[in-house]
Amino acid sequence: MAYSFDFTAVAQYHTQLAVGVGYTLMLTALGAVLGVTLGTLGAVVRAWRIRPFAQLFGLYVELIRNTPFIVQLFFIFFGLPALGLRLGEWQAAIIAVVINLGAYSTEIIRAGIQAIPRGQIEAAGSLAMTRTQIFRHVVLQPALQKVWPALSSQIVIVMLGTSVCSQIAAEELTFAANFIQSRNFRAFETYIVVALIYLALSVGVRALLNQIGQRFVVKRRPA
């Protein structure tokens, strides 16, 4: 085989890779926390048909779920300055990730809420629980329990999707990969290393989300 592999050509850029991993995780963490919060809000509003917000959220969900992420990102970064709203690459990336995950998690969590049997809520009411108590313990928590695996998957998908943010010069992991590749021309080595890093990140984030799920959502106390 004529090609000789040289992984030191990638190893010497370990700082860029580390910075890239840091930014990717930062984007994912902020996106997950804010996005799931937005999604929960949207799910409640849509499941309980609170006017006029239910319609607004419906529109938002359809708009985001039916357009590509990169177009949303480009619109925020390149398009909004025309209206005088100029966001830096990180602000644009975070907003794009949050609104994207917000839309998907709205639908995921709404499914969980709508799967709660009416009788369960009525039973809680007959036990003289307040509206807030019912919402927290009888609706939201069991709903999240049901959809937690789906939600975790969506967060991992969003994390992998943040690679698109390299297109607006946000220096996350894929940006680091493209940068390194443009300097050492070692496409095979660079992208396989970065692919393995993404794989490790996905496995790690999923494990972390499982832990969080067990601890805070399912609330199964460790034996």
Partner 1 sequence: MNRRTVLRFLSTSALALGLLANLPALADGLDSIKKAGTLRVAVPQDFPPFGTIGADMKPVGYDIDAAALIAREMGVKLELIPVSSTNRIPYLTTGKADLVISSLGKNPDREKVIDFTNAYAPFFNGVFGPADVKVSSAADLAGKTIAVTRGSVEDLELSKIAPTTATIKRFEDNNTTLSAYLSGQTQLAATGNVVAAALNERTKLRPLTPKFLIKNSPCFVGVNKGETALIARINEILAKAKKDGSLNQIAVKWLHNPLPADL
Question: Which among 214, 207, 202 has a CA at the least distance from the CA of 24?
Answer: 202
Find the angle CA(177)-CA(179)-CA(182) to the nearest 5 degrees: 110
Contacts with partner 1 by CB under 8 A: the residue count is 18
Tell me how far apart the alpha carbons of residues 200 and 213 are, in angstroms, rounded to a whole number.
Answer: 20
Shortest spacing between CB 4 and partner 1, in angstroms: 22
Tokens linked to 50? 């609170």
> Is the alpha carbon torsion for 170, 173, 179, 181 positive or negative?
negative
Residues numbered 177-206 forming contacts with partner 1, rule: CB under 8 A: 178-179, 181-183
In the bound state with partner 1, the residue whose beta carbon lies nearer, of 53 and 90, is 90
Our measurement of the distance from residue 181's CA atom to the centroid of its chain's CA atoms, rounded to an integer in Å, reads 27
- The distance between the two most distant Cα atoms of the chain, rounded to a whole number of Å, is 77
Rounded to the nearest 10 degrees, what angle do helices 89-114 and 14-47 cross at? 40
Shortest spacing between CB 139 and partner 1, in angstroms: 43
User: Residues 44, 47, 60, 89: which binds partner 1 (CB under 8 A)?
Assistant: 89
Residues numbered 61-80 forming contacts with partner 1, rule: CB under 8 A: 77-79
User: Residues 82, 119, 131, 221: which binds partner 1 (CB under 8 A)?
Assistant: 82
Shortest spacing between CB 166 and partner 1, in angstroms: 8
Shortest spacing between CB 182 and partner 1, in angstroms: 3
Residues numbered 111-150 forming contacts with partner 1, rule: CB under 8 A: none
Residues forming the site for partner 1 (CB under 8 A)? 77-79, 81-82, 86, 88-89, 166-169, 175, 178-179, 181-183
